[in-house]
Structures are given as structure tokens and as C-alpha cells.
């Protein structure tokens, strides 16, 4: 089937509910998603169960390597466009321990062949750790530039995390790595994740600590002289840019900071039950009073929340 014909077929299968929000598009090249017809049929059935408006017969045999969703109407800002190649190189080594932490949690709650949504997947740096469990990650992100790289690693969907084009109660688990400071509506994102989780499903989120990593706190001298400078700003949830920061993300992408209570309430307010809360150091290890990375306060936080 020619790429143009595939695109027409995929566009034709959206429901009225989905049509005003997104159009399914196929990339310029149609690539083989699986080597066997049996695998194609199985993955087609998974996509049909997962995404709004797709039936098994409508996607079977398309052999798609990746999926892309483009919103119609209101679209959130994709701040990482233009930064994907740099980000992938910069974060590649740093992110691996956290990808392993996410995968270890996923392994406790899902069975092989399950589908896991990676919310705010970026360039797909978590995919390989999850795939090692024989689990199928599908990445969701808003940045075309990031997904350009992520699609080489797994199936991806371009969508706003607060408006997921996924069926209710369709997935076993969702993961998010360093997302809660990036999105404009993290509470809305968690509500959407809760909606698409099956009863008993888990949302596993790891990211920077709401109390100790933000524009109001300077940790640049922490490892050298053991001091941290705290300024006004805790509780200010406006997107802030730090022109003096060493991080390119802080100067170009910026971040929002939720106070700890507001951060935790995003999970509880969405009807999820927090099962585990672990403070981590910069190497994704549980934080201790004298950690190996020479920090004096936790740097990251891991949350595991369950849907009843």
C-alpha cells in the first residue's frame, strides 16, 4: 500500500469525538513494524484497543513503524522543538538510571506483551529499558522534533498529555520521566492518565524534587562547599526562566514548580492512590543522609500511584 493511501486510511478511521481533536498521520515512509503477519495482527489489535476510533480490521496489515497525532484547534506549546538532538545527547547518559527505575517499577505491575504509555516521552530515552521487559511502550509527546528521534525507538503519538487520544481504561501502566515541571497542566495530565488506566493500573512518575530543585534554589555550590542558597519563589507556579543557570533547559525551556502538597494532590485529586513515594539522589538511588553524589538534599522524587 502506498504511503498516500495509508495516510488516507488512517485519517478515515477517527471517530467524531476524536476528529475535532486530532488527525492520525503516517510519516513519509511506511516502514515494517513487525516481521511476521502474526505480530502485525497482534500489534494492530493492541492499537485498536488503545486509541480512539481504530478497529482491528482498520489497522491490520498496515505495518506501521510509528504513529503521529496532530491536534486540530487549540495546541499547547511544544517548547522542545529545535532542541531534540542536543537534548538526546545531553540527557542520554544521565537518564539511563532513571529509565531503569521506571522499568523496575513497571515490571512489578504488568505482564509481558502489555502496553505502557510513556507520557512526555521526549526522544524515547526510557523505551529500551521498558522493552527489555518484553513490554511495548508507546510514547506520547507534543514536540515533533523530539518524536523525530523517538519514533526510531518505538511507536509514538503526537498529542497533548492533558488530552490523550486514548480509550478509557485501556492501558496497564503509564510512566513519566521529568515531566511535571515541563507541562503547563500537570494536574490535567494526571487526570487523563487516571482516565486511561485500567482498574489496578499504575502511574509511575520520576522527576526533580518539588522542594529542592527549582528557580528559587541555587545548588551550584553544593558539592564544593556544601551550601545551598534559597530565595523567594516557593509556591510560585508560573513558568520561570533562569538566565544565570548552567542548564540550557532552564534558560530556553523554563519550568514550572508545584509546591510539594500541590504536586502530591495532583495524584490524589485524580482519584489515584499513592502507593510509594521515594526521594532519590542524582543517580536515581534512594537518598540517604550522606549520599555518594555529595548532595546535601534529595534531588529527585519517585511516585507510584494506583487506580482503584
In a domain, 223, yes or no: no
What sign for the dihedral angle of Cα 15, 122, 86, 135?
Answer: negative
Domain that holds residue 258: 77-214+235-307
Residues 96 and 65 reside in one and the same domain: no
Residues 116 and 24 reside in one and the same domain: no
Residues 131 and 252 reside in one and the same domain: yes
In a domain, 221, yes or no: no
Measured in Å, how far apart are the chain's first and last C-alpha atoms? 43
In a domain, 83, yes or no: yes
Q: Which of 24, 53, 71 is the last residue of a domain?
A: 71
Residues 29 and 177 reside in one and the same domain: no
In this structure, are strands 115-119 and 68-71 parallel, antiparallel, or unpaired? unpaired
If one counts the domains in the chain, the total is 2
Residues 91 and 158 reside in one and the same domain: yes
Residues 187 and 276 reside in one and the same domain: yes
In a domain, 229, yes or no: no
Q: Which of 56, 71, 86 is the last residue of a domain?
A: 71
Residues 40 and 121 reside in one and the same domain: no
Q: Which of 55, 71, 87 is the last residue of a domain?
A: 71
Return the CATH number at 268. Answer: 3.40.50.150
Return the ∠ at Cα 234 (arms to 182 and 126), rounded to 5°: 25
Q: Is the pTM of this model over 0.85?
A: no
Q: Are 179 and 152 in contact (CB under 8 A)?
A: no
Residues 63 and 202 reside in one and the same domain: no
* Distance in angstroms (rounded) separating the CA atoms of residues 154 and 127: 7
Residues 173 and 296 reside in one and the same domain: yes
| Tens-digit pLDDT string for the chain (308 aa) | 443 443 343 343 333 333 333 333 333 333 333 344 455 556 556 665 676 654 443 333 223 344 444 443 344 567 778 888 888 988 888 899 999 999 999 999 999 989 899 999 999 999 999 999 999 899 999 888 999 999 999 988 888 899 898 889 999 999 999 999 888 899 999 999 999 999 999 999 999 999 998 878 888 888 888 889 888 888 777 766 665 455 556 666 666 788 999 999 999 999 999 999 999 999 999 999 888 888 899 999 999 999 99
In a domain, 99, yes or no: yes
Residues 164 and 283 reside in one and the same domain: yes
In a domain, 171, yes or no: yes
Residues 294 and 210 reside in one and the same domain: yes
Q: Considering just the CA atoms, what is the radius of gyration of the chain in Å?
A: 20
Q: What is the 3-state secondary structure (H, E, C) of the chain?
A: CCHHHHHHHHHHCCCHHHHCCEEEECCCCCCCCCCCHHHHHHHHHHHHHHECCCCHHHHCCCCCCCCEEEECCCCCCCCCCCCHHHHHHHHHHHHHHHHHHHHHHHHHHCCCCCEEEEECCCCCCCHHHHHCCCCEEEEEECCHHHHHHHCCCCEEEECCCCCCCECCCCEEEEEEECCCCCCCCHHHHHHHHHHHEEEEEEEEEEEECCCCCCCCEECCCHHHHCCCEECCCCCCCCCECCCCCCCHHHHHCCECCCCHHHHHHHHHHCCEEEEEEEEECCCCCECCCCCCCCCCCCCEEEEEEEEC
Which residues have CB under 8 Å from 176's CB, separation 6+?
A: 118, 119, 120, 189, 193, 203, 204, 205, 206, 207
Residues 102 and 164 reside in one and the same domain: yes
Q: Tell me the three cell numbers of residue 207.
A: 522527576
Amino acid at each position: 500500500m502506498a504511503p498516500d493511501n495509508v495516510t488516507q486510511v488512517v485519517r478515515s478511521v477517527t471517530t467524531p469525538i476524536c476528529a475535532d481533536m486530532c488527525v492520525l498521520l503516517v510519516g513519509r515512509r511506511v516502514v515494517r513494524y513487525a516481521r511476521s503477519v502474526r505480530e502485525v495482527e497482534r500489534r494492530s489489535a493492541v492499537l485498536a484497543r488503545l486509541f480512539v476510533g481504530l478497529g482491528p480490521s482498520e489497522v491490520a496489515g498496515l505495518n506501521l513503524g510509528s504513529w503521529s497525532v496532530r491536534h486540530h484547534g487549540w495546541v499547547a506549546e511544544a517548547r522542545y522543538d529545535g532542541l531534540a538532538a542536543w537534548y538526546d545527547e545531553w540527557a542520554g547518559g544521565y537518564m539511563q538510571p532513571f529509565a531503569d527505575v521506571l522499568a523496575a517499577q513497571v515490571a512489578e505491575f504488568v505482564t509481558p506483551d502489555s502496553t505502557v504509555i510513556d507520557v512526555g516521552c521526549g526522544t524515547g530515552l526510557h523505551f529500551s529499558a521498558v522493552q527489555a521487559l518484553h513490554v511495548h511502550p508507546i510514547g506520547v509527546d507534543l514536540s515533533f522534533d523530539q518524536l523525530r528521534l523517538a519514533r526510531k525507538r518505538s511507536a509514538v503519538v503526537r498529542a497533548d498529555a492533558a488530552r490523550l487520544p486514548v480509550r478509557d481504561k485501556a492501558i496497564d501502566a503509564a510512566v513519566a520521566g521529568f515531566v511535571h515541571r515541563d507541562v503547563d497542566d500537570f494536574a490535567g495530565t494526571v487526570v487523563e492518565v487516571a482516565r486511561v488506566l485500567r482498574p489496578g493500573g499504575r502511574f509511575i512518575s520520576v522527576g526533580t524534587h518539588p522542594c529542592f530543585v527549582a528557580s528559587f534554589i541555587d545548588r551550584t555550590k553544593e558539592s564544593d562547599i556544601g551550601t545551598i542558597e534559597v530565595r523567594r519563589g516557593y509556591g510560585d507556579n508560573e513558568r520561570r526562566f533562569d538566565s544565570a543557570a548552567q542548564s540550557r533547559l532552564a534558560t530556553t525551556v523554563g519550568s514550572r514548580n508545584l509546591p510539594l502538597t500541590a504536586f502530591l494532590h495532583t495524584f490524589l485529586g485524580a482519584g489515584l492512590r499513592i502507593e510509594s513515594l521515594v526521594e532519590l539522589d542524582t543517580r536515581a538511588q534512594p537518598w540517604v543522609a550522606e549520599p555518594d553524589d555529595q548532595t546535601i538534599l534529595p534531588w529527585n522524587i519517585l511516585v507510584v500511584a494506583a487506580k482503584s
